[in-house]
Amino acid sequence: MTSEEFKEARRKLGLTQSELGALLDTAPQTIRKWEMADTRSTARSVNPVAARAMEWFLSGFRPDGWPEPKP
C-alpha cells in the first residue's frame, strides 16, 4: 500500500490521524509520516502490518475502541 493509498483509506474510513493511531497503537506523528509523499525526507514507508489492518478496516472489521461516527 502506498502512502497515498493509506491516506485515502483513512479518509474513506472517516478517521483522523489521532484516531487511527489509537486503533493501531501508534503515534499520530507516525501515521503522518506514513502518509507523506516519498520525496519528503521525513517520510516513512507504510508499515506492512498497518497496511493489512487498513485492508481489514475497509472490508468492515471494527475492533474494540472504534470511534463513534461524527455527526
Amino acid identity of residue 34, one-letter, is W
Distances (CA, A) of 39 to 31, 32, 50, 55: 16, 14, 21, 25
**Does the domain at residues 3-58 carry the CATH identifier 2.60.120?**
no
Is the pLDDT at 44 greater than 90? The verdict is no
The pTM score is: 0.87
Which pLDDT value is given to residue 71? Answer: 74
Summarised one tens digit per residue, pLDDT across range 16-43 is: 999 999 999 999 999 999 998 777 777 7
Which pLDDT value is given to residue 26? Answer: 96
Which pLDDT value is given to residue 68? Answer: 87
